[in-house]
């Protein structure tokens, strides 16, 4: 997931990165369909997007969990920890700094 954003080159920008969970929430729209469809026209329903925000689970001591965020459907506005390694299949929405 990190490699995808690091190697992304769209337009004149090549400094794409995985957003933190607060940045993901900031591009969430209030009300249905919960995402800005003009910018993100094909956002799938009922899925989560990875963030760069790590979480250290109680008693584990290592940050092996990342925060994910839901944009649509029953997942809208939900954020929870998901294990980075293993079989967690979530989407990626890369961001870049302006300008």
Q: What is the total residue count of the chain? A: 99
β-sheet bridge partners, residue 28: 35
Q: In a structure prediction context, what are the per-residue pLDDT tens digits for the chain, which is 99 residues long?
A: 568 888 888 888 888 998 888 888 787 766 655 666 677 778 777 777 888 887 766 666 555 667 766 665 555 556 656 665 555 677 888 888 876
In the numeric block, the tokens 């997007």 are attached to 49
**Which token pair is 59?**
């008693």
Task: Answer for the pair 84, 2: CB distance below 8 angstroms, yes or no.
Answer: no
- Per-residue pLDDT, 39: 75
* DSSP code for 72: S
Q: Specify whether the backbone of 6 is left (phi greater than 0), alpha (psi in -120 to 50) or beta.
A: alpha
Helix, strand, coil: what percent of the chain each, to 5? 15, 25, 60
């Amino acid at each position: 997931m990190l490699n995808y954003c690091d190697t992304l080159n769209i337009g004149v920008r090549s400094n794409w990165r995985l957003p933190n969970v607060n940045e993901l929430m900031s591009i969430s729209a209030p009300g249905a369909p919960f995402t800005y469809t003009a910018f993100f026209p094909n956002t799938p329903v009922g899925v989560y997007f990875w963030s760069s925000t790590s979480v250290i689970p109680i008693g584990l001591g290592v940050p092996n969990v990342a925060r994910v965020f839901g944009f649509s459907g029953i997942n809208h506005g939900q954020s929870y920890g998901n294990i980075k390694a293993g079989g967690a299949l979530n989407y990626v929405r890369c961001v870049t700094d302006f300008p």
